[in-house]
Amino acid sequence: MDTPKISIGQLFALIILFVFGTSIAVNYGLDAKKDAWLAILLGTFSGCLLFSLYSYLYRQYPTLTLTSYAQRIMGRPIGWVLGLVLVLYFIYDAARDVRDAGELLVTSVFDTTPIFVLNAVMLLAIAYVLYKGIEVLARLSEIFIVVIVGFGIVGSILVFASNIIDLNNLLPVLEFGWKPILTTTYPNTFIFPFGEMICFCMLFPHLNNPKLQMKTGLIAIIISGVVLSYTIAIDIAVLGADISSRSIFALLTMVSKVNIADFLQRLDPVALFTMLIVDFFKIALLYYAAVIGTAELFHVKPHRRLVMPVGAVIMIASMSISGSFNEHLLEGKLSISNYQVLVVIGIPLLLAAVHLIRKYAGKGNR
């Protein structure tokens, strides 16, 4: 089989873009109010642990994807069902992110455009990339990581230069103690986006340098987590914890305050662009994981034949997932703390446990 290859740099870029996807745009972690940035750092730390678990499983089966080694570890029927659950999760999560992107556009710019059209345009673009193969997505990430870093640096300079930051908005630290931080981190800032990185388990077999997988992944997670924490802290410092936590897209509101000499202002499109780019990669990776997973479960070859059908399912799911954006957000919170926790932590833990038992019990028998 001619497996496409992903370089370690591309993995790095993909992880960073994936972590930023939606989380950088929304009022992420703001249940912890002024201490959201702390909750994110804590989430990042926990995310590193979770990533180590994913990496451990990968090292045991360096040539297989998650859905394949699930069957290898658990045996055909149970493993297959677990694989199906994972694929459904990928589809569900991709649909959520498509909806996020669509709602972002509807609420901020295209107020009379049907969300169906916006979602469809997004998905068609991604479907085209995936149809061309994962290598295309990986190469794309190398370009867009530069764009995003550029936006980030320029945006930061502009925010600092327009003198809208009031650090008093971040004080006092730990206003309500550790409790709100912990309840926000577990499960919110932990699962979203670090738990969602389980979709990378479908990607690892394509790495051209498996030895650096874990190190690169952890560095990428830490960098993106710190940047995320910084971004949310800036949101709070500019808008205050109250306005940030009530805004759906805090970054957009924050950037709209930038004003340099009455000349550089109304930078919302830049923020919008950033959000769309990072969301694009997040959807693409989840979408890809869903396609690969389905192909392996149902033995479809080549897997690109599934790009359109899976895309159609994601499309329909993104529309039917909820009746209003408010419901969508509430459902997100509920599903993270119930269903998503089980999938992204429960299944890998189960797999690792069974794998260990089989390894040592097997040795004992011999």
Partner 1 sequence: MKPKPILLSWLLLSIVVLSGCWNSKELSHLAIVSAIGMDKLPGGSEYRISFQVINPSEISSGIQGGGGGRTTAVTVFADNGSTLFEVIRKITRKVPRELLFSHVKVLVIGEALARDGINDLFDTFERLHQTRLTTKVVIARNTSAEEILGVITPMEKIPADAIEGKLEFSSNLWSENLEYTIDDIIRALVSKGREPVISGVIVQGEIERGRKKSNVEMSRPDALIMVRGLAMFKDGKMVQWLDGDKARGVIKLLGKIKSSVEELDCGSKKDAVTVELTKSKTRIKTSMHNGKPLLEISIIEEGGLVDTKCALDLARMDELAMLEQRWSKRSAEVVTASIEAAQKQKSDIFGFGEALNRTNKLEWKRVQNDWNTLFAKGEIRVVVDSYIRNSGMRIKSFLQQS
We find the least distance from the C-beta atom of residue 276 to partner 1, in angstroms, to be 14
Among 128, 160, 298, 360, binds partner 1 (CB under 8 A): 128
Interaction of residue 119 with partner 1, rule CB under 8 A? no
Strand partners, 264: 260
Alpha-carbon distance 116 to 124, whole Å? 12
Among 171, 182, 353, 356, binds partner 1 (CB under 8 A): 171
Alpha-carbon distance 23 to 312, whole Å? 25
Interaction of residue 117 with partner 1, rule CB under 8 A? yes
Contact segment (CB under 8 A) with partner 1 among 12-20, 48-56, 73-81, 113-121 equals 113-121
Cα dihedral 336/349/205/130 (nearest 10): -20
Secondary structure string (H, E, C) spanning 168-231:
HHHCCCCCCCCHHHHHHHHHHHHHCCCHHHHHHHHCHHHECCHHHHHHHHHHHHHHHHHHHHHH
Site size for partner 1, by CB under 8 A? 28
Q: Tokens 């699962």 correspond to what residue? A: 191
Alpha-carbon distance 248 to 210, whole Å? 39
Interaction of residue 157 with partner 1, rule CB under 8 A? no
Interaction of residue 52 with partner 1, rule CB under 8 A? no
Instruction: Please count the residues of the chain.
Output: 366
Contact segment (CB under 8 A) with partner 1 among 15-23, 166-174, 223-231, 339-347 equals 166-174
Interaction of residue 327 with partner 1, rule CB under 8 A? no
Interaction of residue 276 with partner 1, rule CB under 8 A? no
Which positions ≥6 away from 272 have C-beta within 8 Å?
Answer: 104, 105, 108, 109, 252
Judged by beta carbon, residue 181 or residue 289, the one nearer partner 1 is 181
Judged by beta carbon, residue 221 or residue 250, the one nearer partner 1 is 250
Interaction of residue 172 with partner 1, rule CB under 8 A? yes
Crossing angle for the helix pair 268-297 and 134-161, to the nearest 10 degrees:
160
Judged by beta carbon, residue 112 or residue 365, the one nearer partner 1 is 112
Q: Which two tokens stand for residue 358?
A: 């089989």
Interaction of residue 112 with partner 1, rule CB under 8 A? yes
Judged by beta carbon, residue 128 or residue 298, the one nearer partner 1 is 128
Contact segment (CB under 8 A) with partner 1 among 68-76, 178-186, 243-251, 355-363 equals 243-251
Binding site for partner 1 (CB under 8 A): 107-113, 117, 121, 124, 128, 168, 171-172, 174-175, 239-240, 242-243, 246-247, 253, 256-257, 259, 265-266
